[in-house]
Structure 1
Amino acid sequence: MTKDVIALTSEMPDSRALLAGLHAGGPELGVTTAADDAVIQLCTPGGRPLVSVEAPVIVHTPGEAERLLGTQATFPDVPFWWTEARASTAVPEAESLAGSFCGRLVLLLGGTTWPADAATIQVVRTPDEPDGHDVTPRPAPDGALPAVDVLTDSTAVVLIDRPVIALTAWLSDVLRAAVGSGRALHIVTPPHARLSQPLRTALTGPPNRWVVQDPDCGYYDGLSGAVLRWQDGTFAPALDQHGEATLAAAFASSEPPAEHQLTVSFRCHHAPDADLLLGRSLETAWHHLTGTAPAGWGTAEPINLPWSPRQLTALARDRAPEPSHLLAVGRPDRPALATLRVARTESGVTEDVTLSLGHSADEPPPFHTIDSLAEELVAQHGLSTMLITLRRARHDLTVPAHLEGPPIPVSFTLGPADVQAVGLDHARRPPLPLRPTPLGPATVPALHYHLGDGTNPDAWDDLGTLTRHLRNS
């Protein structure tokens, strides 16, 4: 696996500290930049990339290092600077070089490294070409950051070994570049690795894959469990004699946990308004379900900025008319993660929010707050639709490489404009043994449909019947 080393420093890496780190391989190594100068590469005299160093990011959000790197180490108090060095797999000495780069930053600036035992300050000598072979690396697609481990005509392969594989700025750029060049992105990890929810959302299925390299059963898809093999320059399902994909034993071997995840997915529509403040609907949902506001927001992981709807709105305005994809995270003692997509429409602005909360086995989900949440989103934030589901899954909101419980619907809410479009009489009389709760003014209400407590899979049949009824008005 490609080795990443991260320097978490109390002070900002300035030019003096970066130069000291870049001399970790001695004066013979070359330095280049990539990704509009956001990445520095240490290269052999022959031009082979050895270590790619990303621009430092300041992290103001408590708990992000522990969420993504584990709790085994002691990390600096916020704010701290997060600097990643990614070692190439092509040269064995590159891992030590990345460790020496980060170790020098920590020596000068204070802090720690991850992994803790990776830090050194020694000079690492690297050959121009490993083992005497003349290998010329293929160029990455235009716009891609460096350190893709394998590049074929159809697939970009990245090998990563971390406790949690996150949607970092680098990985997000690699995904965009792979899609832009017509390639799939395949992320290969050991079986103990888990995905963050934002990365799981970004990997929307084939041709992109999470590939798990298991010592007992080979390669399999970490999200579907399908056994994979490398063929024709990509990972593809290994078919049985009947032409069907087979399920890896390691994927199905674990029982779903007793913990739960409550997921709230909703859309709000706003009329054009120069004073519109985005993120307030998400903040409202967070308050109803956790009692606090989000702790931080950002465009990638680690989620690094203190929560601020005004700053979030300013970024979305700067990016318009292109949509903005943003992330939010809760406090360390209350696992919560959200994705927020802001997009312009012909009639205004939409916010698509997916908020997930983790609950331990002995912690009941906050069902008692759902009705009041729906009512406030209708009254204050232009709610269009909202679906709430519950599933048995890890309360830390990470995605393991084995089977977890499916989500089960709890409730569905239809906003007043959509109720009017369907017809109030039609919308309030679905062919089900339930009647919705009206929210808001009696003449133009929203309708809130209770579907269950998240334990009966038949709720999916009820939701399907309801949505077909609403579409066939």
Structure 2
Amino acid sequence: MTKDVIALTKKMPDPLSVLAGLLSGGPDKLVGAEGDGALVRLHDERGRPLVSVEAPLLVQVRGEARRLLGADEPEVPYWWTEARATTGVAEAEALAGTFAARVATLVGGTAWPPEAARFLAVVDTDGVSAAPVPAAAQPAVDVLTDKVAVVIQDRPVVAMTAWLADAFRAAADAELGLQIVTPAGTRLSPAVRQSLPGWPSRWVVQDEQCGYYDGLSGAVLEWNNGLFVTVTSPEATPRDPRTPIAETFTRDIADTGERQLAVSFRCVHPADDRLVLGGALEAVWREITGEPPAGWGTEEPANLPWSLRGLTDVAHERSPEPTWFVVVGAPERPALATLRVTRTKGGVEEDVTLAFGYGAGEEPATEAVQRAAEALATRHDLQSMLVQIRRARRDLSVPAHFEGPGVPYAFVLGAEEVRSMPGDRARRTPLAEAPRELGPRTRPSLYYPLPGDPSDLSGWKDFEQLMRHLKGS
């Protein structure tokens, strides 16, 4: 099990110097102590890992510490330095807390969680030394079996940090599932929720009353044969598995009036060295909020100010490998997107999943949806787009209790897909309202209005009927 401690500072810290001061061996033991993702790892005389320290990250986007930690943050830009302590070893948490507290004291800033400041006192480091972290090491993985990699996180919001992203990639490369274990009350960033693959990967919540349960489905879980699996009722049959649902998952569910406007779309561009990526996402963002995105990154916290050129350069450097990005909005209007850029035979694909949050008394900007679709259809090689309205948190984080599904508000079919359908199939649908044409009249995309009432799930019947019709089934 691990414990995360973070220093938020105005000046760039020198972790090597701070660690050298903690260790009796002096700074010579830290020479060349660099790794892929983590900067250095401290271990004891028996070789047990105690603390892994990541290279400082310069955050230039407002609100990320508040969003992910619930913490006050220095004025941007500021430095974010993470240390992960192995809590299975008694002295590790104190060592990580001492490191973060000393960094904050030496260069000015704060340590998170606040109680980390109590570790400012001298810690006994006899027998502790530092070593380079090999490229294959995974500081985020706490338990590894032949079926899954288990990551235990104890923070308000599980974010797609560099370490967790490395764990996702390592598990996928090893053909293992990834199971994230958290205490009750922890939430997931949408970036983590969207990246979590299917079974045996899952979010496991440890609850004092219910034991373990799946944070997304509520299914009661148990550790069995090297992974967390669902508990099956004795009365279960193949047709009726009767998986018990944790009481905590469905307790005290009430409509708070909070809503999310969720938009997912795909654009397929001709491959061209002059192609600038991210323009489709920015166009939708501007139509919905009146502003561009605030920041982006290849991990969380999103640390870079919004830049189409910067995003394009990173994707170009990594091509032909796909590139994953997270994009965030200003704190005043919660918004978060994940963008995956992939080079395919058909060109360059941008897959976007985007959500905007609204509080009680705030109306989702549904009047801007058709304008956003028009922008994609006219200028950004739209393939398809789905818009939903959900009863869900304004801050967009994913809680470990039941949230109703979104309801379709609109579906858009790109011009090439419309053109490829036989006859008038795309225009003559079983829906009560005819589709609206978007983009050039000679090569239009089609916009299909749907009910979009989050209190009425029958909208999914209309959507499924439309999909069957368009597929010719």
Fold conserved (TM > 0.5)? yes
Aligned to 1:132: none
- TM-score, length of structure 2 as denominator length: 0.92
The answer (yes or no) to whether the contact 2:20–2:26 under 8 Å persists in 1 is no
Aligned residues of 1:316 and 1:342 also touching (Cα < 8 A):
yes
SS of 2:351's equivalent in the other structure is: strand
- 1:422 aligns with 421
1:58 aligned to 2:51?
no
Separation of aligned partners in 2, 1:2 and 1:230 = 19
Query: How far apart, in 1, do the equivalents of 2:296 and 2:318 lie?
Result: 16
Q: Tell me the equivalent position of 2:232.
A: 239
How far 1:445 sits from its partner (Å)? Answer: 1.3
Structure 1 pair 217–11 and aligned structure 2 pair: CA distance change class (3 A): same
Inter-CA distance 306–460: structure 2 relative to 1 (3 Å threshold): same
Alpha-carbon distance change, 182 to 346 in structure 1, aligned in 2, over 3 angstroms: closer
1:189 aligns with 2:182: yes
Structure 1 residue aligned with 2:148, among 148, 155, 170?
155
1:454 match: 453
Give how far 1:470 is off: 1.0
CA contact (8 A) 1:50 1:91 kept: yes
* Structure-2 change in CA distance of 1:186 and 1:358 (3 Å): same
1:204 alignment counterpart: 197
- After superposition, the C-alpha distances for 1:190-209 in whole angstroms (9 at most, x for unaligned) are 11100000001111231111
Residues 141 and 181, structure 1, Cα contact 8 Å, conserved in 2 = no
How is 1:2-401 mapped onto 2 (pairs within 5 angstroms)? 2-14=2-14, 18-27=16-25, 33=33, 35-36=35-36, 38-70=38-70, 73-119=71-117, 120-125=119-124, 143-243=136-236, 244=241, 245-257=243-255, 258-401=257-400
- Partners of 1:441 and 1:309 lie apart in 2 by 25
Code of the aligned partner of 2:427: R
- Structure 1 residue 345, shift from structure 2 partner: 2.1
Cα distance between partner residues in 2 of 1:147 and 1:263: 30
Q: What is the one-letter code of the residue matched to 1:217?
A: C
Aligned to 1:137: none
Residues 75-101 of structure 1, C-alpha deviation per residue, up to 9 Å, x if partnerless?
211111111000002211111100111
Q: Secondary structure at the match of 2:443?
A: coil
Letter in 2 for 1:350: E
Corresponding position of 2:440: 441
SS in 2 for 1:294: coil
CA contact (8 A) 2:24 2:125 kept: no
Work out whether residues 281 and 352 of structure 2, in 8 Å CA contact, stay in contact via their aligned partners in 1. Answer: yes
Report the residue type matching 1:219 in the other structure.
Y
CA distance in structure 2 between the aligned counterparts of 1:142 and 1:13, rounded to whole angstroms: 23
Q: CA deviation at 1:264?
A: 0.7
The residue type paired with residue 123 of structure 1 is V
- Identical positions, percent: 52
Please report how far the alpha carbon of residue 232 of structure 1 lies from its aligned counterpart in structure 2 after TM superposition. Answer: 1.0
Mapped contact 2:50–2:85 kept (Cα < 8 A): yes
Letter in 2 for 1:9: T
> In structure 2, what is the Cα distance between the partners aligned to 1:446 and 1:235?
45
* Count of paired positions: 459
Counterpart position of 1:406: 405
Contact 2:35 2:134 in 1 (8 A): no
- 1:349-369 CA distance string (max 9 Å, x none): 111111100011211111111
In structure 1, distance between residues paired with 2:451 and 2:201: 34
Q: Specify whether residues 400 and 394 from structure 1 end up closer, same or farther in structure 2 by C-alpha distance, changes over 3 A only.
A: same
Unaligned runs of 5+ in 1: 130-139
Pair 1:441–1:153, CA change in 2 (3 A): closer
- Name which of structure 1's ranges 204-213 and 292-301 shifts more when overlaid on structure 2: 204-213
Can you give the 5+ residue segments of structure 2 that lack an aligned partner in the other structure? none
- Residue 410 of structure 1: CA displacement? 0.2
C-alpha deviation, 1:106, in angstroms: 1.2
**Offset from partner CA, 1:293-336 (integer Å, 9 cap, x none):** 00000011000011000010011111111111111000011100
Tell me how far 1:123 sits from its aligned partner: 2.7
- TM-score of the two chains, using structure 1 as the length reference: 0.92
Q: Residues of 2 paired with 1:259 and 1:207: CA distance?
A: 32
Q: Secondary structure, in 3 states, of the residue corresponding to 1:425?
A: coil
Letter in 2 for 1:231: N
Partners of 2:24 and 2:126 within 8 A in 1: no
Q: CA deviation at 1:41?
A: 0.4
Question: 1:174 is paired with a residue of what secondary structure?
Answer: helix
Distance 1:124 1:387 in 2: 55
Structure 1, 144-153 or 53-62: larger mean CA deviation? 144-153
Q: Residue 395 and residue 169 in structure 1: after superposition, are their counterparts in 2 closer, same or farther (change >3 A)?
A: same
Indicate the residue corresponding to 1:134 in structure 2: none
Is the 2:38–2:139 Cα contact (8 Å) retained in structure 1? no
| Alpha carbons 1:34, 1:146 under 8 Å: kept | no
1:35–1:316 Cα change, 3 Å: same
Corresponding residue SS for 2:97: helix
For residue 157 of structure 1, report the CA deviation from its aligned partner. Answer: 1.8
Q: Is the 8 A contact 2:326 2:336 kept in 1?
A: yes
Q: Report the secondary structure of 1:426's partner residue.
A: coil
Q: CA deviation at 1:276?
A: 1.1
